[in-house]
Amino acid sequence: MIDFSLWPLLGIAVVMLGFLLKFNPVLVVTVAAFATGMVVKMPVLTWLESLGTAFLKTRSLPLILLLPLAVVGLLERHGLREKAQSWIQQIKAATTGRLLLVYLALRESSAAAGLTSLGGHPQMVRPLLSPMAEAAFEQKHQSLPDKIKYQIRAMSAATDNIGLFFGEDIFVAFGAIILMHTFLRESGIETEPLHIALWGIPTAIAAFLIHGTRLVRFDAYLARQLQQQLTREQRHD
């Protein structure tokens, strides 16, 4: 039986508790790193050195995150959302559920190939996917109440999350796979990153089938919601 300690995972509990209590994210991460360092008996100077090295490696991260947002914002100002809605309305067979199902397949397959930046909430869901899904529904029903609009937006964001989360687990160079490989090796369990990635395929397929079924039924669900709302409005009138 392999003997190992779970105390180094204390930092994860600190992060969860800090975010749950809505503390400053930088403070939460720093405290979590300090707690983990103390548990593994890391010298303070070594901990500070590791923290400084990590800061230097990621100091250009704000530019990487903010630059795409600026580009997307500029495109939206010049009618990106309107163009996307106009284009999807020209496809008569398009529905909200079908559109999201196609995006789920593309998002999960591209993430499995390591192309995780092709999608995302700020650069894909908000400016393109969500408006197109809303336009597809409005094309069929000639009406889009706020409640249904928000449900479509939520499902669009959830579809992106699911496709990314389960797709990237198949990519052999994904950080989590490397982390699991390192953890297992340090625990005396020899395995290859490729084997870990391959075991993510059944989970990814199951996730696609389960969420895909939800998307197939999503159109009928939204139609019922619209009908119920119209019925309530007629009663009030």
pLDDT in tens, 72-102: 666 667 676 777 778 787 888 889 999 999 9
Taking residues 58-75, what's their average pLDDT? 57
Q: Would you say residue 55 has pLDDT above 70?
A: no
pLDDT at 2: 44
pLDDT higher than 90, residue 113 = no
Distance separating alpha carbons of residues 145 and 232, to the nearest angstrom: 13
Higher pLDDT, residue 212 or 179: 212
CA distance 172 to 192: 10
> What value does the mean pLDDT take over residues 131-160?
91
215 pLDDT higher than 70: yes
29: which residues sit within 8 A by CB, 6+ positions away?
15
Give domain limits for the chain: 1-59, 67-236
**Residue 121 CB: number of other CB atoms within 10 A?**
15
Q: What percent of the chain has pLDDT over 90?
A: 29
Structure tokens of 173? 């160079």
Count of CB atoms situated within 10 Å of the CB of 113: 12
Mean pLDDT, rounded, of the chain: 81
pTM here?
0.69
Handedness of CA 201, 95, 146, 70 (dihedral sign): positive
- Mean pLDDT, to the nearest integer, of 184-188? 79
Residue 102, pLDDT score: 95
pLDDT band at 213 (very low <50, low <70, confident <90, very high): very high
